[in-house]
Structure 1
Amino acid sequence: MTTLLDDLAPLPDPSMPFITAERLPPGVGPVARYGDPIWCLHPLIENPSALRSRIHWANFPDSFREECRYLAYRLVNDELPALFLARRSAAWRARLSADCCHQTVLHWAELTKWCHWNGMSTLRDLPGDGWLDYHRFVMAKGLSRSSVRQRLSSMQRLWVFDHTGRCPLGIAEPPWSREGCDDYLPAASSRGENTTDPISPATMGPLLIWALRVVEDFADDILGAWRECARMMAVPKHGDNEVGRPKLEAYLQILKLMRLPVPTIQQGGGTGFATTYIAGLTNATRSQVQHALDADPYWDKVKDSRPGPCPLPVDVTGSLDGRPWAEAIDFEEAGVLMRHLGTAAFIVITYLTGMRPGEVLGLRSGCCPDPAPDAT
């Protein structure tokens, strides 16, 4: 539909990406087009722990949709003017994160629905004193001081991105933009800034000590087991490997003659043959292993009566109280131990550096190399 904005501003082409090339991190995937009904903000998010947000334009009343789409395009790609920031507190940022952009646009959607219910068809219809009516609407929700502040700040960004555009709609400036937000917020809570109890030293001390031990003493063994497990997982599933067949036959013959348990894994609530593990040991394909085990009824009986472990052929070098910390690492344990190692490394980095969890999770291998030696 035609809107006031069509007459005022040259809109971006609907087929162009809604994120400009300057804003995109290197190597990101496809970006939604400006005219798409949904904008995925994933390309702007480098933190793997962050929420993956989407802007659904169907949430906006029809007559307001294109106005807000254009202002959201500016919100995502442009910075707030330095002159505007100079008169604001240090908490204001020139550019928001992807999640904050999403929250801001959600607040805009709430505003446009309120405007629509009150008989308006464009953001220009909201008069300066109309912001006071909107403020009463927000306060009636009984929101926290922080939630109200977020909404009022979102309206300031709406106004400034329109006010500084090439062809502004003429949205009225909210009064709290001139006067400050304090008088428009609920009373401050008596609760302190940090409402989460700190972790007790009696808990944090042992946790950090054992995290350090896992990283410093056990990491080499865990990483070696993980590499060996990955090698076994890469063994072809199908085919007839002439080199692996005699090794497979010899391996199974030894298990049978010495009455040793057959390697098994737990799957589907029952016990199954560890075909991937056996294939990795013998260099046979998984289909060869399965065929050899199915061909002899002996193995089904052994699987149920004498199920065996799957120790990886990796030496355990780490010690605990002067003894190896494990006799062997099992094929099924490798993935679990890798998660434990990652958790231990996360605890060590966050505690010793003070970095936020999202910053730690965003680190990449090689981002902190050993310093090159110099004359000193």
Structure 2
Amino acid sequence: MTALARSVALPGDEVFVLHDRPLRDGVAVGETSQFGDDVWRLQPAIHKSSGRNLILNFNRFPVRSRPVAKQLAYAMLSGPLPQGDKHCKVEGVRCASTELRRFLTWLDSQAEPRCQRLATLTGADLLAYQRHLVGPFPNAATQRETCRAKVRLFWRWRHNLSDWLPFCPIHINGWGGPDAGAQRRGENRTSRIPEQVLGPLLVRALRFIDLFRPDIIAADQQWRKTRFIGVYQRLPVRKFHRSTGTVHQAISDHLERYVTSGRPLPGWRGVPNRKVLSAVRSTAGPGPATSSRTPSSPTASPAPRRPHDPPRRLPLRIPSPGRHWKKFGMSNATFRRHFPDIAQEIAALRSARPTPGAPSEPTRYHRLVARNAKLKRRNREFTETLTLAACHIQRVTLENRKLRGELKAATGVARLASVPGLGHQYSR
């Protein structure tokens, strides 16, 4: 491996290091840094407006290792790529330069002659660098792994360098050390599904999607048509077939279409969806099935109400004393649809004139109003009583203070003491 020759010519000092990178608008290649510069400006190749003004300062590298560091940085920025590799981001090159400088600085501090060049390094030297990383990063296994990964760049990009590693570090026994063991212990060891089971399972799942995808999408669209868009928005228009016959005929036609097309009825757990059937019923025209609810005489049928007509007084259908109210379930949609009629009936009931001669009994509302007025009157009387009592207490306090002053001036008593068992004070 030590005899491996370079396949790429080394760049000259006049080569622009960002010539193969897309530059920001308004920046020409001739304005970028050259290979011979000691400081490379990377900002022209950073397209984010919030990107930092990054540089590569090679003055911080050891003088002996500075050419190799420049060659590696140029190869990662604009040089020929190794087989199967791709250019990394500019920020990645800047981060890699920090770890490369750490390794080359440590290598320059070693006294062994073989550490003067990368081509003469051995596995023991890299293991020594691995032990050195425990000092600055004793509790950072991830950082140590990053440092070791950047050392491998001298092997991956060896065709672009004048001095390179003669072997891949990952083949060294002990490379990774206890950090590799910690990573193995942290691996997810949950039992996986066997491939013999997972293969047929995926085949059946894909087959299910291919066969039932149209039905599932159609059912989802039909389900969304019967749901509210918002609280204060109208229901979506339901495009059901409007039958010209009776309700029974409309439902029969609806069921016949499902039987003919071979599609299942909308429902859940084998029970048909009554909401869909009720929508079919509402679209059916009048017929014999609805004759019991429509007047027999054409003249008795009420005229259609226009939007700006005043509300009509509709009679309340109150059941007889021996008959119970019919139990029914009213959804939000049904309540909103029938609320105007209910409001008209309530308004007609409240505005109806009393029958002459009928005993007028106070309603529950009027009883509550009278009770509230009575409570307010009692509260006002109690407040007046408390105010009068406070005035009396203040007057008695002033008279007591005046009498004490007169008694003190007449007798010359400096202090009044109380006698146990007596409710008044006297002088000793």
Question: TM-score, normalised to structure 2's length?
Answer: 0.36
Question: TM-score, normalised to structure 1's length?
Answer: 0.40
Question: In terms of Rg, which structure is larger?
Answer: 2
